[in-house]
Amino acid sequence: MIKKTMAALFALGALTFANTEAQAEEMFGYKAPNSKAAAGVQVFHRCKKCHSMDPAKNTFGPNLRGVYMRKAASLPRFEYSEDLKKSDIVWDEDFLRAWVEGNTLVVSGTRMRHVQITDPAEQDYLIEFLKTFK
């Protein structure tokens, strides 16, 4: 019984990963290099209302393609807050994690509003997705 349950859970996990991976390819033309990045696609759904992954397109927020290790407020064709421009932040793992958990705690004068992502696992998935989406 336990073996059958474990096999069913594994199959469900593999199916979920396959669906997420297919969704990432369909939405972004992105082939997730690992399961964490694929899971990050699901978390990114919260971000895509305001952010694009198309380098030629900014929406309410700047596009996030290649954001990992990019200097904050450096993307052309987007009007950032003065506080973010002065921040001297580089979007490494620590700053990305802090930002998605509570961006106004990182830069108080930011104009960004968002749903906080406080679950460390979801933060890991999103960061992995952002790191690998160049």
Condensed to tens digits (0 to 9), the pLDDT of residues 20-69 reads: 666 656 666 678 889 999 999 999 999 999 998 888 888 899 999 999 99
Condensed to tens digits (0 to 9), the pLDDT of residues 14-34 reads: 434 445 666 656 666 678 889
Range of the domain at 23: 2-132
User: Distance between CA atoms of 14 and 4, rounded to whole angstroms?
Assistant: 15
Extract the runs of DSSP E, i.e. beta strands, from 29-100: none
Average pLDDT for the chain: 83
User: Distance between CA atoms of 61 and 58, rounded to whole angstroms?
Assistant: 6
CATH number, domain at 103? 1.10.760.10
Length, in residues, of the chain: 134
DSSP state letter for 111: -
> pTM, whole model, 2 decimals?
0.78
